[in-house]
Amino acid sequence: MKLWNKSICITSRKTLLLIIVVFLSTLVLASVWPTKVEEIKTIKPTLEKPWVPSPEDVAFQDSMFSIIEKTQRDLDTIRAGIDKILWKLERFDYPDGTWDSIRYVKGGVIDKRRN
């Protein structure tokens, strides 16, 4: 155990020579060590023609587009109907035939219901 009790000076000639020898031997071993060489596979380009739709495909796409347009028109009709219903629900009809959406008479029926 006398070896571990000694103080080692890194700048001494023997220590520097040992570090250089270890470094060079590591470089030599790393340069001659066999490594796996992977083969690079080349992909051969294939000359495939792009897809050309048949008349049946075009007819199918047209029918799908017409279905989508019809559905959009139906939704627009439904939205317009809902808007009309909401407008009628928000408006007040009065006995004299007039109507208003914000008419408020102090002491009237709405005022009495609020209070």
> What are the CB-based long-range contacts (under 8 Å, 24+) for 60-67?
none
Asked if residues 101 and 107 have their Cβ atoms less than 8 Å apart, the reply is no
In this prediction the pTM is 0.38
> What are the CB-based long-range contacts (under 8 Å, 24+) for 80-86?
none
Given a cut of 60, whether residue 35 has pLDDT beyond it is yes
Residue 111: predicted pLDDT: 63
| Best CA proximity match to 90, nearest among 80, 101, 82 | 101
Given a cut of 70, whether residue 54 has pLDDT beyond it is yes
Identify which has the larger pLDDT, 36 or 82.
82
- pLDDT per residue over 77-97, tens digit each? 999 999 888 777 766 666 776
Given a cut of 80, whether residue 24 has pLDDT beyond it is yes
Distance (Å, whole) CA 105 – CA 82: 29
Residue ranges per domain, the chain?
A: 64-115
What's the CA angle centered on 53, arms 51 and 59, to 5 degrees?
Answer: 160
